[in-house]
Structure 1
């Protein structure tokens, strides 16, 4: 695809053309993992440059979604792979190790596909899953910048025949710039939240390229303006039903975040080792010839790799629990998925931040030079781990284990 000319800051970004060919459909875990590894090797090559210059990953995103990795949780009953979340989180971990912005972009897409499976009507499922299998990408227009709490929504819709009309303003709209459809969280007259899945080119839907965070710079986020956007009722999903009773919808949204943070930590540790082996000098008092001989460095790397392996083990354990909650939703299976995911989230967050700090401590001053672009790991970790605070994960865990209180049902739990 040809490069898009970036508009000025407050202009809307025009929608992109959809792929001319249908996306590939992956059939098993092994193919998904092999495909992710092949894509990751390509994505890693330009990751530092894309971050430094904030280059939109247009070709990379097309390759990612056309590979079939964006339809992994589409049910088999509708022609999809319906792979396990054990496989899906491995895919996101692999991609995020190469470029965590690309790893984060499909997070809401995966969550919306899961929600369509959970609460969509059969005819909606057929219609929307066909689009996903063909290569359609869902962005998101969920969060609102000025609301009192993250789950407070002022964006609303009214019914008009076979359509709904949506008005409001959104921010943190990951993936919306280059999406084909934009699921909008909008409330009805009873303050219930729905997903109104609007065409990216719908009149009144404007996506502004104003994401200015210092990390995760190419997640294609920004402001979404909704001025009487018309969405057919076939594309309006009762998202609130996924939290009216126990379902896996919440932990599915969460576990993808865990996989992204795990990938960030993995990349930072890999780059630390590479720098120590090739560029760092030993400390003056060590009497050693190489930095990689330093016993304190050796111990620190051992600790980081140990915790990375532990984080991946907890991620896998959480994915098993999510798979069980998908197959057999109920109060106990969903709570187990939430708790297992919260534990993985705590460790992946703390490791990502620690590993990206340790990179500079161990590799030395030379590692801070702009030519190495290693600061992106810390910036990405610090930005992405702010998505939902781990101090509340500790509270959820403590209340569950001490008082038997199950976690709340929402997209952050």
Structure 2
């Protein structure tokens, strides 16, 4: 079976639209989408990092363009960031996740490091080095920003021995954005992969398989004093947090596209299609509206980030929570409409359905986010 075409790149006019002078970047990404879509099924089956697609995205100049101007970038907007994530996710969700994690780690290191190290990491990103986040620890759950491992002091700074979990794209990474507890406080570092870093046998995920999300072991890995990052300003909006909802939105849009392909496909000898059934039309209408609502909420979070408004964090958490659940519901409807054919391994339906589950499990998970969002509302004066 052939994967249905993803949702169109252009959307209705919006107050959070991509600035006109930045739309060239969307055109460059759009040109790569057919190649991304062409390998998504095989990459999933092989649990293979699609490095060629990540390199193609880098070759457009996109990665470096998101850096601050003082580091050779164009300081592209969060509106452009989320539009790019959504576009890639409709075609290849694992590639979208890999790209967002890579860019978020690099951007954080450039933004939060001391000047000399910031210049180093910016040059590394520009030359094509890969970045990843080494934050989650066994048993850490949603508290991935608070390391539970004490790093003993050394002459050069500190060293880390332990494991990090669910590290996306770690096998191709040159540098990690990594955390540890140092001198009783949490610290974030830029860490270059060396022979103290190893990769135990992978326990593969059932969805988003091409991210190769996995555990990594560290044995006295140096945490250099000069690579200790400064705390982020309240107005600094982490790219991953702002963009995360759009991975689920892209998956939901791909589910809608596949639903439509299944519903409108003529059946041999039939005079009508499933698209003519009232229950399909009614439930599709609600699914479409939910996806649009999740997208509008997530775009608002990006707008707040572009304004430097501290409310971006609450808006992003709320948007991710909603988008994760909408993706799951939309995928479930897609499976019902596709019927038995969608259950076949060769069908894109089963892959989209598996991918749709991932966002709700990734920190902050939906249950954790629900508690946060409910508390913000109930405790508000």
TM range (shorter): 0.7 to 0.9
Residue in 1 that maps onto 2:282: 299
Given that 2:249 and 2:327 are in contact with CA atoms closer than 8 Å, whether structure 1 keeps it comes out as yes
Alpha carbons of 1:149 and 1:382: their partners in 2 closer, same or farther (altered >3 Å)?
Answer: closer
Residue in 1 that maps onto 2:358: 383
Q: Decide which of 288, 311, 317 is 2:294's aligned counterpart.
A: 311
Residue in 1 that maps onto 2:17: none
Residue in 1 that maps onto 2:130: 137
Residue in 2 that maps onto 1:84: 77
Residue aligned with 1:370, SS: coil
Q: Offset at 1:156? A: 4.2
* C-alpha RMSD over aligned residues: 2.5
Q: Decide which of 212, 223, 234 is 1:246's aligned counterpart.
A: 234
Q: Decide which of 32, 47, 50 is 2:40's aligned counterpart.
A: 47
In 2, the alpha carbon distance for the partners of 1:94 and 1:229 equals 37
Residue range with higher mean Cα deviation, 135-144 or 114-123: 114-123
In the alignment of these two chains, the number of paired residues is: 360
Given that 2:132 and 2:170 are in contact with CA atoms closer than 8 Å, whether structure 1 keeps it comes out as yes
Q: Write the deviation string for residues 353-376 of structure 1: whole angstroms up to 9, x where unpaired.
A: 001100111222222222213111
In 1, the alpha carbon distance for the partners of 2:225 and 2:80 equals 33
Residue in 1 that maps onto 2:10: none
Question: Mind listing any 5+ residue stretches in structure 2 that lack a counterpart?
Answer: 1-19
Q: Decide which of 237, 256, 259 is 2:229's aligned counterpart.
A: 237
In 1, the alpha carbon distance for the partners of 2:75 and 2:67 equals 5
In 2, the alpha carbon distance for the partners of 1:107 and 1:337 equals 18
Normalised TM-score (structure 1): 0.80
Alpha carbons of 1:149 and 1:44: their partners in 2 closer, same or farther (altered >3 Å)?
Answer: closer
Q: Offset at 1:102? A: 0.8
Q: Decide which of 159, 162, 175 is 1:165's aligned counterpart.
A: 159
2:332 pairs with 1:344: no
2:376 pairs with 1:393: no
In 1, the alpha carbon distance for the partners of 2:178 and 2:102 equals 12
Residue in 1 that maps onto 2:171: 177
Q: Offset at 1:381? A: 1.3
2:175 pairs with 1:188: no
Alpha carbons of 1:73 and 1:390: their partners in 2 closer, same or farther (altered >3 Å)?
Answer: same
Residue aligned with 2:210, SS: coil
Given that 2:158 and 2:182 are in contact with CA atoms closer than 8 Å, whether structure 1 keeps it comes out as no
2:86 pairs with 1:110: no
Residue in 2 that maps onto 1:125: 118
Alpha carbons of 1:198 and 1:395: their partners in 2 closer, same or farther (altered >3 Å)?
Answer: closer
Residue aligned with 1:378, SS: helix
Alpha carbons of 1:148 and 1:30: their partners in 2 closer, same or farther (altered >3 Å)?
Answer: closer
Stretches of 4+ aligned residues off by more than 6 angstroms: none
Q: Offset at 1:212? A: 1.4
Residue aligned with 2:131, SS: coil
Question: Mind listing any 5+ residue stretches in structure 1 that lack a counterpart?
Answer: 1-26, 326-332, 406-413
Given that 1:57 and 1:218 are in contact with CA atoms closer than 8 Å, whether structure 2 keeps it comes out as yes
Given that 1:209 and 1:221 are in contact with CA atoms closer than 8 Å, whether structure 2 keeps it comes out as no
Given that 2:255 and 2:331 are in contact with CA atoms closer than 8 Å, whether structure 1 keeps it comes out as yes
Residue in 1 that maps onto 2:206: 214
Given that 1:139 and 1:176 are in contact with CA atoms closer than 8 Å, whether structure 2 keeps it comes out as yes
